[in-house]
Amino acid sequence: MPEQGWVNQEMENTKKVVAINGSYRRKGTTTELTKAALEGAASVGMDTEMILLRDKDIRYCTNCLTCYKDLDSEIAPCSIDDDMEEILHKTMDADGVILSSAVHNGFVTGLMTVFFERMAWRVCRPTGRLFVLRGLPQPRSNKTRALATIVSAGGMPTRLGKMFCNDGTPFMRQNGCYYLNADWVGGVYAGAKFSKELRGEDWCKAYLYKILTEEQLKEARELGIKMGAMIKADKLKPVHPFGRIGSLLDRVTAWFIRE
Ligand SMILES: Cc1cc2nc3c(=O)[nH]c(=O)nc-3n(C[C@H](O)[C@H](O)[C@H](O)COP(=O)(O)O)c2cc1C
């Protein structure tokens, strides 16, 4: 029998992947894809959890700026007492974060947008700098996380949708990596596949026939495996808005812009 202390340490060392799911449907396609990604992550030893935002009490941001004014806390306080507190603690505690959403109006759901609004200044402080710009979001936590996105579309085929109906992926990727001090693992865009061949009027009801394919589920599962492997390899590097040259730019501009 291993000693209690050893067991506790093992549990502490277990890496965690949390999925924040912004779909309005409990058993929808986004949820299925998210589950597949978490199964992939679990298969390589990750502790996993899905948070379905629709089941949580999440209210609109009131722009009271309580969080924005706090420069010290790792998770800034909020004047609203709802489930965001618990969700943000789980998110910041995680080693990998999967953000998933249905494609709504070419973007993400309102729920996911509200989540980002409520997260922004609670996990970032307005002390960031980019060239001469001041007051930009800067992650409050130094921990490097892995980030992946999943989006599920109802009418757009994958290739076209990825190009022309996919504002959600870059939004979640860029802001997610920036806010959560995260490295980018990859994304799944599950374009429209239908349960039957659509003809004429069927196209007006295309969303009703949307199904997931085995291939899309496999892609999501592989994304989870990749996330787990990257976390285990311990080689995550936070994505900079200016890419690889970002840290060099930071150093050079910091030299020229003296306080
Ligand atoms: C308000 C709304 C807007 C939508 N906008 C789009 C869209 O822009 N492009 C698209 O391909 N599908 C769109 N859809 C369809 C959903 O993306 C599709 O039903 C998706 O599979 C839903 O994911 P879910 O199963 O997790 O709910 C929209 C659906 C709703 C309700």
| Distance spanning both ends of the chain, measured CA to CA | 58
In the reported structure, the alpha carbon of residue 205 is separated from the centroid of ligand 1 by a whole-number distance in angstroms of 12
**4 is a domain residue:** no
Structural domains counted in the chain:
1
Q: Strands, DSSP E only, in 74-231?
A: 96-102, 124-130, 133-139, 145-152, 182-190
Give the residue, out of 53, 207, 212, with the most ligand 1 atoms within 8 A of its beta carbon, to mutate for a pocket test.
207
Instruction: Determine whether the shortest distance from the Cβ of 156 to ligand 1 is under 6 A.
Output: yes
**Which DSSP category does 105 fall into?**
T
**89 is a domain residue:** yes
* Inter-residue long-range contacts of 66-69, CB under 8 Å, 24+ positions, other chains counted: 67/121, 67/122, 68/121, 68/126
Cα 225 to Cα 216: distance, rounded to the nearest angstrom: 14
Domain containing residue 45: CATH number? 3.40.50.360
Per-residue pLDDT of the chain (259 residues; tens, 9 = 90+): 455 565 566 566 899 999 999 999 999 999 999 999 999 999 999 999 999 999 999 999 999 999 999 999 999 999 999 999 999 999 999 999 999 999 999 999 999 999 999 999 999 999 988 777 888 899 999 999 999 999 999 988 898 999 998 999 999 999 999 999 999 999 999 999 999 999 999 999 999 999 999 999 999 999 999 999 999 999 899 887 777 777 777 778 777 766 5
Domain that includes residue 97, residue range: 15-256
**206 is a domain residue:** yes
Q: Tell which atom from ligand 1 comes closest to the C-alpha of 103.
A: 17
Instruction: Determine whether the shortest distance from the Cβ of 104 to ligand 1 is under 6 A.
Output: yes
**1 is a domain residue:** no
Comparing CA positions, the residue from 84, 82, 79, 76 lying closest to residue 51 is 84
